[in-house]
Amino acid sequence: MKGIFKIAAVSVLTVSASLALAAPKFAPAVVYDQAGKNDKSFNEAVYRNGVLRFAADFGPVVAEFEPQSETQMEQGLRRLAQKGRSPIIAIGFTFGSAVEKVAKEFPDLQFAIIDMVVDLPNVQSIVFAEHQGSFLVGALAAMASETDKVGFIGGMDIPLIRKFACGYAQGAKYVNYEVEVFENMTGTTPAAWGNPTKGAELAQAQISKGADVIFAAAGGTGIGVYQAAADAGVYAIGVDSNQNYMQPGTMLTSMLKRVGVAAYDSWKEARDGTWKGGFKVMDLTNGGVDWALDDYNSSLITADMKSWVEEIKADIKSGEIVVHDYMSTNSCEM
Amino acid sequence: MLDFWFSWVILPLDSMMRLSTPLVLLALAGMFSERSGVVNIALEGKLLAAAFASASAAAVTGSAWIGLLAAIATTIMVAMLHGFATITHKGDQIVSGMAINILVAGITVILGRLWFNQGGQTPNLRGDARFQGIDFPGAAWIQENVPFVGSVYGEILSGHSVMLYLAYLMVPISWYVLFHTRFGLRLRAVGENPAAVDTAGISVVAMRYKALVVCGILAGFAGTYLAIGGNTAQFMPNMSAGKGYIALAALIFGKWRPVQAMMGCFLFGLLEAYAIRLQGVEIMGIGTVPVQFIEMVPYVLTVVLLAGFIGRANPPKSVGVPYSKERE
C-alpha cells in the first residue's frame, strides 16, 4: 500500500516538474495602482496604449483589477494568480513587495512589474530611462523660458522622482547654462500624488519667483500645477501620458513614458512564446520615453525648437550626450 | 529689501489667505454644531461631499453658483443624516461622524466614476463654471507705485475669488449670530445645559437640527471653495486631505469662538505657506533644510501650542451627549 503511494507521489512530482518547464497558459492580466485606470496619467497610459490596443489586435483577453486600497493590492494580484492568469503586469513601484511575494508563491506563472526591479526568474522588471525623457523636456523648457527660470514639482519625494528632476535640470542647463531650476516636492507620503491644492500653491510660489515653465511629475497633484500655470499664463509640462490636451495653449509638451507599449510588448511576447524574465530598460532608443508633439501644442513649439530638441535626442541615442541617472549614484551630478 | 519683503512676507500671507479659507469656513461650521452639543468629527466628510457636489453640478450646468447651491443642499442632507443618527436616535456622535467620513470618501469616487468616467475626477472647469479671481480697482497700479503697503492691497487683499471674501465675511456674521441674537443664545444654552433649555419650553431637538443646518450651509461653502473657488477647478478623490480635522483643531485652539478660531486657521495656513516656500532654500549657517523636517513643523507646533500656550480650552459642557428627557 505504502509503495503505491510512493509511486503516485513520485509521478505527481514528475508531472508537475514537466508542467513547470512549459510556458503557462496565455491569459494576460493587469493590476493598476490606487489612482485607478482613468487617472489621465500613468495608469491611463497602460489602459489606452496597452489594454485597448491589445484588445483591438487580439480580442478582449486582458483581465483588469483596480485596487481601492493598499490592502487590496496584494489580494488582487493573488486572486489573478490563483485564477491562473499569466502574464500579470503590476503597474507601479508600490507593487514591489506584493509582486515579490506572489511571484514566489506561483513560480509557474509570469509576472511583470513597471518602475521596479524584482529579482526572480518569473518576473520581468520593466524600468524606464526617465532621465532621458526629462532631459528633452528640460531642454524645451529652457528654450521656451523668457525669464531663464524654470520649475520642477515632484510628487512623493522618492529616488524615482529625483531622477525626473535631475534629468530635467540637466536638459535645461544643457540648452542654457544660465538657467535657474527651482525644485519642489509635494510631500513624503503617497498622499503627495493626489493633492492638487498644494500643487497649485507650489506652482504659484515658483511663478512668483519668476519661473515661466513648470514640469510636474506628481500624478494627480499635477492637475493643480497645470491649472495654476494656465491661470497665471505660464507654461506647464505634463508627464507619463500625453497631457497636452488638459490645458490647451499653456501645456508646452509632455514627457511621455510609454508604459502602455511596455505592457503590450510583454503580453505579446508571452503570446508568441518569447517571454523572458529579467531586466528590461525602455529608453529613447526603443521609444520607451519621448516628448509629445500634437495639435494642442504645435503652435507653442517653433521649428527651431523642434529641430534642436530632435538633434539632442539623436545625440543622446548615439551616446554623444550622456544623461546622468540619479538612481545610479543617488545624487544629481551635472 | 523690497524683494525680501515681497517674497517672504507678502507672498506667504497671500498664500495663507487661500489656504486658510476652507479651514475658516469649516471651523465656523463646526462651531455651530459643537456649540449646540453635537461633536462634529464629520467635517472632513461634509467638506468632501460639498466639493464633489459643487464640481459635479458646475460641470453639468456650467454655472459656479449652481455648484454652490448643490453643495449646500448636499451638505445639509449629510448634516441631517448626522442629526438623524445623533439627535433623533441618540447615537454616538463620534462613531456616526466617522461613519459619514468613510461613507463620503467612498460614495464620491463611485458616483464620480459612474457619471464622468474619469477615475473619480470630475471634468476640468473653465470660465463661468468656476469662481475666478476678482481684481480690486487700481490693484496693479497701487502695488507698483506704493512701496511695502501697496502690495498688501494689491497682492494679499485683491485677486481672490468671491468665495474667499464671502468666507471671511462669515466670521463677523457668525460672531453676531452666536453672541447677539436670540437664536445664538438658545444655541449656546443647548450646548451647555439642554435640560434648562427644555424646561424653558424650547425644543432641544429642534435647536440642534437648526444648528446642523447652519453647519451644513457653511460646510457647503467650504467645499465649493476647495473644488471650484480656489486654485483648483475640479474634484479629485480625497481632495479634502485632512482639512476637516485641522479645522476641528483650529476650533479647539480658538476655544469655540469665531475670531479666535479664524486666528487658529491663519496659523495653520501660514505654517503651510512657509513650509511650501522653505523647501530647498539655503538658510545661513544651517544649509538646506530637509523637506521632511519642514513638513513636520506645523504638526509639532500644534502639539506644543495646544499643550503649553493656549491654556485650557473648555468645550461646551454638553458636547457629545445626546439629550434625552428623563421621562417621556
Same domain, A274 and A150: no
Indicate yes or no: CB of A224 within 8 angstroms of CB of B279: no
| Beta strands across the sheet bearing A235-240 | A180-187, A149-156, A213-217, A235-240, A251-257, A289-291
Burial B90-102 (b: 16+ CB within 10 A, else e): ebebeebbebbbe
Cα of B310 to nearest chain A Cα, Å = 28
Which one has a higher pLDDT value, B290 or B174? B174
Interatomic CA distance for residues B160 and B16, integer angstroms: 12
Cα of A183 to nearest chain B Cα, Å = 7
Q: Are A111 and A102 in contact (CB under 8 A)?
A: yes
pLDDT tens sequence across B123-134: 888 888 888 888
Chain A CA closest to residue B13 = A205
Same domain, A164 and A230: yes
Task: Please give the model's pTM, rounded to 2 decimal places.
Answer: 0.83
| Beta strands across the sheet bearing A29-31 | A63-65, A29-31, A88-90, A111-114, A123-128, A278-282
Same domain, A268 and A242: no
Residue A306: enclosing H or E segment and its boundaries?
A: helix A303-318
Residue A18 is predicted with a pLDDT of: 41
Q: Are B208 and B83 in contact (CB under 8 A)?
A: yes
Indicate yes or no: CB of B119 within 8 angstroms of CB of A182: no
Question: Within an 8 Å CB–CB cutoff, is residue A175 touching chain B?
Answer: no
Chain A CA closest to residue B121 = A39
Choose the mutation target among A201, A221, A240, A251 for the interface with B, i.e. most B CBs under 10 Å. Answer: A201
Q: Are B204 and B324 in contact (CB under 8 A)?
A: no
Domain presence at residue A296: no
The confidence band for B209, taking pLDDT boundaries of 50, 70 and 90, is very high
> Considering chain B, what percentage of its residues have pLDDT values greater than 70?
95
pLDDT tens sequence across A239-279: 988 899 888 899 999 999 999 999 999 999 999 989 988 98
Instruction: List the domain boundaries for chain B.
Output: 2-130+140-309
Same domain, A175 and A317: yes
Domain presence at residue A75: yes
CATH number of the domain within which A45 lies? 3.40.50.2300
pLDDT one digit per residue (tens) for chain A, 334 residues: 555 555 555 554 444 444 444 567 899 999 998 777 877 778 888 998 999 999 999 988 899 998 877 888 999 999 999 999 989 999 988 899 999 999 999 999 999 999 999 999 999 999 999 999 999 999 999 999 999 999 999 998 889 999 999 999 999 999 999 999 999 998 887 778 878 888 999 999 899 889 999 999 998 889 999 999 998 999 999 998 889 988 889 999 999 999 999 999 999 999 998 998 898 999 999 889 999 999 999 999 999 999 999 999 999 999 999 999 998 888 888 7
Burial B67-76 (b: 16+ CB within 10 A, else e): bbbbbbbbbb
Q: Are A265 and A287 in contact (CB under 8 A)?
A: no
Measured in degrees and rounded to the nearest 5, phi and psi for residue A251 equal -90, 110
Residue B9 is predicted with a pLDDT of: 87
Question: Within an 8 Å CB–CB cutoff, is residue A38 touching chain B?
Answer: yes
Closest CA to A154 of A207, A201, A211, A199: A199
Chain A CA closest to residue B118 = A38
Closest CA to B272 of A286, A177, A259, A195: A195
Domain presence at residue A7: no
Could you tell me if the ipTM is greater than 0.85?
no
> Considering chain B, what percentage of its residues have pLDDT values greater than 90?
54
Closest CA to B49 of B57, B39, B61: B57
Burial A70-80 (b: 16+ CB within 10 A, else e): eeebbebbbbb
Which one has a higher pLDDT value, B127 or B71? B71
Residues of B with CB under 8 A from a CB of A: 7, 11, 15, 18-19, 113, 117-121, 124, 133, 226, 230-234, 236-239, 241, 272-273, 276-277, 279-280, 291-292, 295
Same domain, A80 and A141: no
Asked if pLDDT for residue B158 goes beyond 90, the answer is no
The domain of A278 spans: 23-128+260-282
Domain presence at residue A42: yes
Same domain, A229 and A159: yes
Q: Are B225 and B239 in contact (CB under 8 A)?
A: no
- At the topology level, CATH places domain B2-130+140-309 in ABC transporter involved in vitamin B12 uptake, BtuC (1.10.3470)
pLDDT tens sequence across B294-320: 777 777 877 787 776 666 778 888 888
Closest CA to A153 of A110, A89, A197: A197
Nearest CB partner across the interface for B241, out of A195, A200, A228: A195
Q: Give chain A's domain count.
A: 2
Same domain, A222 and A271: no
pLDDT tens sequence across B16-31: 999 999 999 999 999 9
Q: Can you tell me the mean pLDDT for B54-80?
A: 96
Same domain, A94 and A220: no
Chain A residues inside the 8 Å CB shell of B292 = 157, 188
Interatomic CA distance for residues A138 and A172, integer angstroms: 4
Chain B residues inside the 8 Å CB shell of A38 = 113, 117-121
Indicate yes or no: CB of B241 within 8 angstroms of CB of A197: yes
Residue A320: enclosing H or E segment and its boundaries?
A: none
Domain presence at residue A334: no
Same domain, A207 and A265: no
Sign of CA dihedral B277, A232, B238, A43: negative
Question: Within an 8 Å CB–CB cutoff, is residue A331 touching chain B?
Answer: no
Same domain, A238 and A266: no
Domain presence at residue A289: no
Domain presence at residue A288: no
Domain presence at residue A8: no
Q: Crossing angle, helix B258-278 and helix B162-180, to 10 degrees?
A: 150
Question: Within an 8 Å CB–CB cutoff, is residue A149 touching chain B?
Answer: no
CA angle A84, A85, A91 (to 5 degrees): 140
CA B295 to chain centre: 21
Same domain, A138 and A218: yes
Average pLDDT, chain B: 88
Same domain, A197 and A211: yes
Nearest CB partner across the interface for A209, out of B7, B118, B234: B7
